[in-house]
Structure 1
Amino acid sequence: MEYYGSIEAGGTKFVCAVADEDLQIVDRISLPTTLPEETLNQVFEFFDSYQLKALGVGSFGPIDVNQKSSTYGYITSTPKIGWTNMDLLGTLKARFAIPIAWTTDVNAAAYGEIHLGAGKGTQSCIYLTVGTGIGGGAVVNGAVLQGFSHPEMGHITVQRYPNDTLECVCPYHDNCLEGLAAGPALEKRTGIKGQLLEVAHEAWSIEAFYLAQSLMNYTLVLSPEKIILGGGVMKQTHLLPKIRESLEQQLGGYVSLPDLEEYIVGCGLGDNSGTMGCLLLAKEQRGLM
């Protein structure tokens, strides 16, 4: 029997899965992301037990998604040791003579959510993951959004929360969303890991302010039908109402939004958003061949 394969290639772990024609997962494995050769040898060992007909890959980035580029398929300027300018897609193609879909991990998650999760029934959505880093993917008119490259939603410049003097944790920017609102920024601001912070701690109001500000910017540019929030930080369920409230305040009544409880939501697929998106893209890629 032939299967579809999925690789959710994260900076912390690789999640690999195989699914049948109905995209029912029959096997899955999670591997720590170490050096490329060691990690990929384990990936190959997992898939060697199955006959694959197509593979979907959603990778941490930045990655090159421009098919006209000489470095198409590469992980490019990542700070992840050993992975800078690594030809991940080329390495996979050398091993698997099958169609391979290639995009970012967050684009794959957005694709999974719009077809099978919280965005089902819409034609456009944004998926934003808030964890060790912040990344976003978008689906517009049913297709993954990309231009000369892919969105880098975590690195937009944001206006500082009043009296927030935190040194931005992003090595590239002074005032970007990731550097002020990702998990490491939350911990640096308080000295406490986010999951241990009291619900009433002011840091959550600061966090909501930055995330709401970013959602306002995405909304004003793309007007998605749904914004879906995932990642470890968003597992703090009290944060979602704070973000909605802050967004409403920051918009100042300029545009009318759908009901915010329907517009800004958590993941419908939980931790499976990326895997299901990769499987959907693999099946779609197979149909194009």
Structure 2
Amino acid sequence: MLGAIEAGGTKFVCAVSNRSLEIQDRVSIPTTTPEETLEKVFSFFDQYELEAMGIGSFGPIDVNKASSTYGYITTTPKTAWKNTDFLGQMKNRYNIPIGWTTDVNAAALGELEKGAAKGKSSCVYLTVGTGIGGGAVVNGEPLEGFGHPEMGHVLVRMHPDDDFEGICPYHKNCLEGLASGPALEKRYGEKAQNLTNKQNVWEIQAYYLAQALMNYTLILSPERIILGGGVMKQQHLFPLIRKEFNSLMKGYVNTPDLDEYIVSPGLGDDAGITGSLILALNELD
């Protein structure tokens, strides 16, 4: 049996599957303190004989195996989880191989193997919701270096009609500070789902997201870009982003057809847990 955790800032999704990645059981656990949350995680997995586990975690996390804090959640704004040895506690409980990466890297891996990028060797997955985070898979492997990608914190040009200062506590007007769900709510005084019919809202949103996608394209040349998260459930955003992306790129790079290049997740909300199960399977291989 394989175990997987999609550890989010709001909830932990835990699942077990067979080697064919068919989920046998799953549970959703609210993210509270590490002690409370992990007690419930242990209670779920203790029911099963596990061969391996994969964890895709909210971050920032330490993914550098040479680091003394490898496996830690580090400078997260979720104060209770700062400097938490998440992976270490899981390894102390379960003496099995455990794959470890970010939640968005796991989602990218899930989409590459089983979702909207199936058959490709590379993709970028960006989630636009409570925050903005991005992961990438290149040549079938999650992209990591001394750390992991923080795609939500790239700097973008301000829209000429936007004077919002941004909400990121570190950078103010980075992508997350300008285009996350809370940024939309603070700028306009309403949640994203209540702004559907306000065209100028989404044109500004598309302007910021398209800049980021252009940067990812120029740096990584992924074969597909997948946009998930709560804000991207506004399906009318996709054509606006593609139009703005095309305008910004000005033909400099020939990309695949944009209707097939910038897409929604094939796995819906299951991209992260699927990718975490694939991490577990890869640990066995």
2:260, 2:103 → 1: CA distance?
24
Counterpart in the other structure of 2:249: 251
Instruction: Show structure 2 runs of 5+ residues with no match.
Output: none
Is the 8 Å Cα contact of residues 175 and 208 (structure 2) preserved in structure 1? yes
2:37 alignment counterpart: 39
The one-letter code sitting in structure 2 at the alignment partner of 1:228 is I
Q: Which residue of 2 aligns with 1:140?
A: 138
Does the 8 Å CA contact 1:75/1:88 hold for their aligned counterparts?
A: yes
Q: CA offset at residue 81 of structure 1?
A: 2.3
2:3 aligns to what? 5
* Secondary structure in structure 1 of the residue aligned to 2:81: coil
Corresponding residue for residue 161 of structure 1 = 159
| Correspondence for 2:178 among 174, 177, 180 | 180
SS of 1:75 mapped into structure 2? coil
Give, in angstroms, the shift of residue 201 of structure 1. 3.2
1:1-289 matches, within 5 Å, as 3-287=1-285
- Partner SS for 2:208: helix
Aligned-pair identity in percent equals 65
Count of residue pairs brought into register by the alignment: 285
Q: Distance in 1 between matches of 2:215 and 2:123?
A: 14
Aligned amino acid, residue 233 of structure 1: V
Shift of 1:254: 1.4
The secondary structure found in structure 2 opposite 1:268 is: coil
Distance (whole Å) between structure 1 residues aligned to residue 92 and residue 212 of structure 2: 39
**Distance apart, 1:188 and its partner CA:** 1.0
Amino acid at match of 1:129: T
Alignment RMSD (CA, Å) = 0.7
Q: Distance in 1 between matches of 2:281 and 2:96?
A: 12
The DSSP-based 3-state class of the residue aligned with 1:82 is helix
* TM-score of the two chains, using structure 1 as the length reference: 0.97
> C-alpha separation between the residues in 2 aligned to 1:128 and 1:180?
15
In the alignment, is the contact (CA less than 8 A) between 2:129 and 2:229 conserved in 1?
yes
**Amino acid across the alignment from 1:191:** G
| Counterpart contact for 1:169–1:185, Cα < 8 Å | yes
- Structure 1 segments of 4+ aligned residues over 6 angstroms from their partners: none
Q: Deviations over 1:96-135 (max 9, x none)?
A: 0000000000000000000100000111100000000000
Contact 1:18 1:25 in 2 (8 A): yes
Judge conservation of contact 1:173–1:179 (CA < 8 Å) in 2. Answer: yes
Residues 230-280 of structure 1 show CA distances to partners (whole Å, capped at 9, x for unaligned) of 000000110111100110011112111110000000000000000000001
CA deviations on 1:195-231 (whole Å, 9 max, x unpaired) are: 1113333111111100000000000111111000100
Are the equivalent residues in 1 in contact too, given 2:121–2:140 (CA < 8 A)?
Answer: yes
Q: Which amino acid aligns with 1:46?
A: F
Question: Residues of 2 paired with 1:129 and 1:12: CA distance?
Answer: 14
User: Any conservation in 1 of the 2:167–2:173 contact (CA below 8 Å)?
Assistant: no
Contact in 1 for aligned 2:106/2:272 (Cα 8 Å)? yes
Q: Is the partner of 1:250 in helix, strand or coil? A: helix
